[in-house]
C-alpha cells in the first residue's frame, strides 16, 4: 500500500537546480518510490499529475514550493518530507566548504563563515584572551582556553557567564581536551569509547587517556577545566558542569576525574557531585591522600595509570550496587567522638575528601584545626584520647564518662545530625562500653526524635572479654549503625552527607556536544591544522590585537563594549 505525502511552502523561491537536487535527494531515501519538487505553476502541476503525484486535495499557488513524495508507507513518506530542510541545508554546507579557507580577522565574521562551529579555541596572548573568550561565549560557543596569564577575576567572570549559558570554558591554561573524538590543543589520538574524563591537568589527561587506549578502552569526551578551576575562588565550575554533562551522556559509562590537589571545600563538593552521577567514577587527586579505595560508586586511584586501569576494569564489570546515593541524606553535621587516635585520624583522612568544612583537634591540615577542642563546629572529629582531655582523667577506652558527657553536649546542638564513635574492645578496655553508652544513646535519640543518628566502629573479636557480638547487638538494639572497619564507616558517612545539591547551572546541551566538532581557532595556527587533519571543520582567525595595539583606541572600544552590556 503506497502512501503520498506533500508539503507546501509559501513565499519561498529556490533556483530550479536546487529543486532538482532536492528531488534527487528525496529519491535516494529509503522507501521512497517517487518524488516531485516544483514551484506550483499550472504547467508543473500538470507534470506532477501525469506522474500520479498530484492528489486532488493539494492546494497550492503558483508562487508556492510544492514537495510531493510517494513511498512504500506513511512512515517512509513522512520521514522523507521531514528531511527536506536537512537536504536543502546539506547542499549549503558542502558548498560553503569552498570558502572556509578564507581567514577572517574577527570572531564574529568567523562564526558567520562556519555557523555550525560549536567550539572556539583561544590561544592568543593572555591579556587579550579573556576578551576573545567573552566574545565567544556571547556568540553561544564553548571555549577551549589554552592561553595562560588570564587573571583569576576574568576566569571567575567567564565561568559565571558560561554556566548561565550552559557553555563550557575549558581553561584558562587548559592544554588538553578530546571532544567527540577530536583532540583540542595537545591531545593523543585515542579510540572512542565509554570512558569520560574530567581533567584539571593537561598532561594528566593525556597520560590517562593514552593509557586507557593502551588498555583497550576508549574515550567519550575528555573535558579539560584548566588548572585553577579547582581553587576555592573558582569553585570548580567547569568540573561540575563536565561531571553533570557526562552523567547525562549515554555514551559515557565510566567517569575519570583527575586534578592536582583541589581546595578541600571544592574537593568535597566535587566528590559529592561525582557520587551524584550514579556512574562508576574514578578519582585521582594528585598528591591528595585517597580517602578510601571506594566510596559507593567512587573509586580512588593512587596514580594516573591506576586511574586508567580502574576505569577500564569498571567498564568491564559495570556493577554498581544499586544507586549509591542513600535515601534520606543527612543535612546536618557529623560529630565524631573517638577514643582511638589513629581511628580518628583515619576518619579524618577518609572524610576530608567529602565533608567540608571539617575540623579536628587532630587535624591533617592547618585549616582543619579546631581551636577550642571543647566545642565542635561544622563537621568535627574529636580524638578524646588526646592529652588535652587526659589531664587528671582515665583514657576514654577505660572510662566512658567524658564521651557520654560530650555525646550529651553534641546532641544538644541542633546542628548535629550524626554522632560517630568508636568502641574499642580487648584486654585492658572497659568491660561493657555498650552497656554504658546505649542507655544514653536511646535517651538522646528520643530527645531529638529520630533526627539524630548514631554510627559506631567496633574493633574487637569474639574472644575479647567484652564479647564482640554482644556489644554489637546492644548497640544495634539501641539504633546504632555499626561497622567493623573505619573504611566502611567512611563510605557510609560520606554517602550520608552527600548533599547532592542542585547547582542551578544551565545544563550543557548534550546534543550540541555530540554534533560533529566544528571549531574556530583564534591564536596558534597549529591548533587549526590539527583540527583539519583530524577531519573536523575549522576556520582560522587571523587575529591581531584590537586597534592594532593602539591602546587609546582599544580602551575606547572596550568602553563602548561594556556600555553595551549595561
Partner 1 sequence: MDIDNANTTAITRLMEARPILKGVAAAKDVIPGMRDNLFLHAGPPIEWARMSGPLRGAIIGAMLFEGIAASEAEAVSMVERGEVEFDSCHHHGAVGPMAGVTSASMKVYVVENAEHGNKSFSNLNEGYGKVLRYGAYSEEVLKKLHWMNDVLGEALANALANSSGIDMRALIAEALHMGDEGHNRNKAGSLLFLKSLAPLIAKTMKDASAMSEVLQFLGDNALSVLNPVMAACKAMTDAAHGVEGSTIVTTMARNGTDFGIRVSGLDAKQWFTAPAEIPVGLFFSGFSQADANPDIGDSAITETAGIGGFAMATAPAIVTFVGGTPKDAMNATLEMYEITFAESKYFTMPSLDFRGTPTGIDIRKVVELGITPRINTGIAHKNAGVGQVGAGLVRPPLAIFEQALLAYAEKYGL
Does 106 bind partner 1 (CB under 8 A)? Our answer is yes
Region near partner 1 per CB under 8 A, out of 145-153, 213-221, 518-526, 553-561 = 553-561
Query: Where in 373-402 is the site for partner 1 (CB under 8 A)?
Result: none
Q: What is the rounded CA–CA span in Å between residue 345 and residue 56?
A: 84
Please name which of 27, 43, 44 lies closest in space to residue 35, comparing C-alpha atoms: 27
Q: Any residues with CB less than 8 A from the CB of 49 and at least 6 apart, and which?
A: none
Check residue 112 for interaction with partner 1 (CB under 8 A): yes
405 binds partner 1 (CB under 8 A): no
Nearest distance in Å: CB 118, partner 1: 21
Q: Per CB under 8 A, which region of 109-117, 263-271, 291-299, 477-485 contacts partner 1?
A: 109-117
Q: Is 127 in the site for partner 1 (CB under 8 A)?
A: no
Q: Which is nearer to partner 1, 90 or 481 (CB)?
A: 90
- In the bound complex, what is the minimum distance in angstroms from residue 27's beta carbon to partner 1? 23
Q: Which stretch binds partner 1 (CB under 8 A): 107-115, 232-240, 361-369, 386-394?
A: 107-115
Q: Half-sphere exposure of 330 toward its Cβ, with a 13 Å CA cutoff?
A: 24
For partner 1, what does the binding mask look like between residues 56 and 95, x meaning CB under 8 A?
Answer: ------------------------------------x--x
Element (H, E) at 358: strand 358-360
Distance CA 554, CA 56 (A): 65
Considering the rule CB under 8 A, would residue 104 count as an interface residue with partner 1? yes
Q: What sign does the CA torsion over 225, 230, 233, 236 have?
A: positive
Query: At its nearest, how many Å lie between partner 1 and the CB of residue 141?
Result: 18
User: Cβ distance 178 to 190 under 8 Å?
Assistant: yes
Grouping H, G, I as helix, E, B as strand and the rest as coil, residue 42 is: helix
Q: How many CB atoms lie within 10 A of CB 408?
A: 13
Question: What b/e string do you get for 27-54 counting C-beta neighbours within 10 Å, with b at 16 or more?
Answer: eebebbebbbbbbbeeebbeebeeeebb
Nearest-approach distance from CB 67 to partner 1, in angstroms? 19
Question: What is the spatial distance between Cα 522 and Cα 171, in angstroms, rounded to a whole number?
Answer: 15
In eight-state DSSP terms, residue 329 is -
Instruction: Give the three cell numbers for residue 254.
Output: 565510566
In 3-state terms, what secondary structure has residue 255? Answer: strand
192-199 and 254-259 beta bridge pairing: parallel
Candidate ranges 171-179, 247-255, 416-424, 552-560; the one touching partner 1 (CB under 8 A): 552-560
Min dist. Cβ of residue 95 to partner 1 (A):
6
Contacts of 434 (CB under 8 A, 6+ apart): 423, 466, 470, 471, 472, 474, 475, 478
Please choose, out of 102-110, 345-353, 370-378, 426-434, the segment that lies near partner 1 by the rule CB under 8 A. 102-110
**What three-state secondary structure class fits 265?**
helix
Sheet holding 142-145, edge to edge: 169-170, 142-145, 119-122, 518-522, 537-541
Pick the closer one to partner 1 by CB: 50 or 560. 560
Query: Using CB under 8 A, which residues numbered 10 to 39 contact partner 1?
Result: 15
Of the candidate residues 52, 102, 127, 216, the single one contacting partner 1 (CB under 8 A): 102
Chain positions 179 to 208 lying near partner 1, rule: CB under 8 A, are none
Residue 563 as a binder of partner 1 (CB under 8 A): the answer is yes
The nearer residue to partner 1, 93 or 409, going by C-beta atoms, is 93
Q: What are phi and psi of 138, to 5 degrees?
A: -60, -30
By the rule CB under 8 A, 560 interacts with partner 1: yes
Site size with partner 1, rule: CB under 8 A: 26
CB closer to partner 1, 122 vs 315: 122
Smallest gap, in angstroms, from Cβ of residue 130 to partner 1? 16
Q: How far is the CB of 103 from partner 1 (least distance, A)?
A: 9
CA 238 – CA 166 distance, rounded (Å): 10
Q: How far apart are CA 377 and CA 400, in angstroms?
A: 22
Site pattern 320..339 for partner 1 (x: CB under 8 A)? --------------------
Among residue numbers 527 through 546, which ones bind partner 1 (CB under 8 A)?
Answer: 544, 546
Minimum separation from the CB atom of position 564 to partner 1 (A): 6
Site for partner 1 contains 49 (CB under 8 A): no
Interatomic CA distance for residues 60 and 324, integer angstroms = 59
Based on CB atoms, which residue is closest to partner 1, 116 or 367? 116
139 binds partner 1 (CB under 8 A): no
Q: Give residues in contact with partner 1 (CB under 8 A).
A: 15, 92, 95-96, 99, 102, 104-106, 108-109, 112-113, 544, 546-548, 550, 553-554, 556-557, 559-560, 563-564
Amino acid at each position: 500500500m503506497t502512501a503520498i505525502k506533500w508539503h507546501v511552502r509559501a513565499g519561498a523561491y529556490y533556483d530550479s537546480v536546487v529543486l532538482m537536487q532536492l528531488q534527487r535527494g528525496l529519491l535516494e531515501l529509503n522507501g521512497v518510490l517517487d518524488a516531485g519538487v516544483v514551484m506550483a505553476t499550472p504547467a508543473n502541476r500538470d507534470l506532477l499529475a501525469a506522474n500520479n503525484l498530484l492528489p486532488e486535495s493539494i492546494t497550492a499557488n503558483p508562487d508556492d514550493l510544492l514537495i510531493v513524495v510517494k513511498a512504500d508507507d506513511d512512515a517512509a513518506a513522512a520521514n522523507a518530507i521531514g528531511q527536506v530542510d536537512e537536504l536543502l541545508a546539506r547542499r549549503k554546507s558542502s558548498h560553503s566548504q569552498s570558502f572556509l579557507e578564507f581567514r577572517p580577522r574577527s570572531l564574529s565574521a568567523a562564526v558567520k563563515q562556519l555557523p555550525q562551529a560549536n567550539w572556539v579555541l583561544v590561544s592568543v596572548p593572555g591579556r587579550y584572551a579573556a576578551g576573545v573568550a567573552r566574545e565567544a561565549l556571547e556568540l553561544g560557543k564553548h571555549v577551549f582556553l589554552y592561553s595562560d596569564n588570564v587573571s583569576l577575576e576574568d576566569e571567575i567572570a567567564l565561568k559565571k557567564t558560561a554556566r548561565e549559558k550552559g557553555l563550557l570554558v575549558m581553561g584558562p591554561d587548559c592544554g588538553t581536551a578530546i571532544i567527540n573524538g577530536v583532540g583540542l590543543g595537545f591531545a593523543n589520538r585515542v579510540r572512542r569509547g565509554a570512558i569520560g574524563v574530567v581533567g584539571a591537568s593537561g598532561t594528566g589527561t593525556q597520560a590517562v587517556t593514552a593509557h586507557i587506549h593502551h588498555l583497550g578502552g576508549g574515550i567519550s569526551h575528555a573535558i579539560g577545566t584548566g588548572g585553577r578551576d579547582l581553587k576555592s575562588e573558582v569553585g570548580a565550575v567547569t568540573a561540575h558542569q563536565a561531571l553533570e554533562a557526562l552523567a547525562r551522556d549515554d555514551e559515557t559509562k565510566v567517569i575519570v576525574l583527575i586534578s592536582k590537589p583541589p581546595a578541600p571545600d571544592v574537593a568535597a563538593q566535587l566528590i559529592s557531585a561525582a557520587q551524584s552521577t550514579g556512574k562508576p567514577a574514578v578519582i585521582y587527586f594528585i598528591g591528595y591522600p585517597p580517602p578510601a579505595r571506594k566510596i559507593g560508586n567512587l573509586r580512588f586511584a593512587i596514580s594516573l595509570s591506576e586511574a586508567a586501569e580502574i576505569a577500564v576494569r569498571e567498564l568491564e564489570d559495570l556493577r554498581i550496587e544499586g544507586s549509591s546515593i542513600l535515601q534520606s541524606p543527612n543535612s546536618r553535621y557529623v560529630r565524631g567522638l573517638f577514643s582511638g587516635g589513629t581511628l580518628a585520624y583515619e576518619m579524618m583522612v577518609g572524610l576530608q575528601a567529602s565533608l567540608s568544612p571539617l575540623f579536628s583537634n587532630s587535624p591533617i591540615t592547618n585549616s582543619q584545626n579546631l581551636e577550642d577542642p571543647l566545642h565542635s563546629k561544622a563537621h568535627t572529629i574529636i580524638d578524646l584520647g588526646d592529652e588535652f582531655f587526659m589531664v587528671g582523667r582515665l583514657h576514654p577506652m577505660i572510662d566512658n564518662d567524658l564521651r557520654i558527657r560530650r555525646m550529651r553536649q553534641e546532641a544538644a546542638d541542633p546542628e548535629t545530625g550524626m554522632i560517630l564513635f568508636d568502641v574499642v574492645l580487648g584486654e585492658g578496655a572497659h568491660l561493657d562500653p555498650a552497656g554504658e553508652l546505649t542507655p544514653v544513646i536511646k535517651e538522646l535519640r528520643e530527645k531529638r526524635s529520630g533526627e539524630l543518628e548514631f554510627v559506631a566502629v567496633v574493633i574487637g573479636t569474639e574472644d575479647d572479654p567484652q564479647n564482640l557480638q554482644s556489644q554489637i547487638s546492644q548497640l544495634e538494639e539501641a539504633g546504632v549503625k555499626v561497622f567493623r572497619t573505619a573504611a566502611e564507616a567512611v563510605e557510609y558517612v560520606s554517602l550520608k552527607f552527600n548533599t547532592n545539591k542542585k547547582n542551578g547551572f544551565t545544563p550543557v546541551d548534550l546534543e550540541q556536544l555530540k554534533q560533529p566538532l566544528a571549531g574556530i581557532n583564534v591564536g596558534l595556527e597549529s591548533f587549526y591544522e590539527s583540527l583539519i587533519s583530524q577531519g573536523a571543520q575549522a576556520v582560522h582567525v587571523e587575529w591581531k590585537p584590537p586597534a592594532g595595539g593602539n591602546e587609546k583606541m582599544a580602551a575606547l572600544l572596550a568602553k563602548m563594549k561594556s556600555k553595551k552590556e549595561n
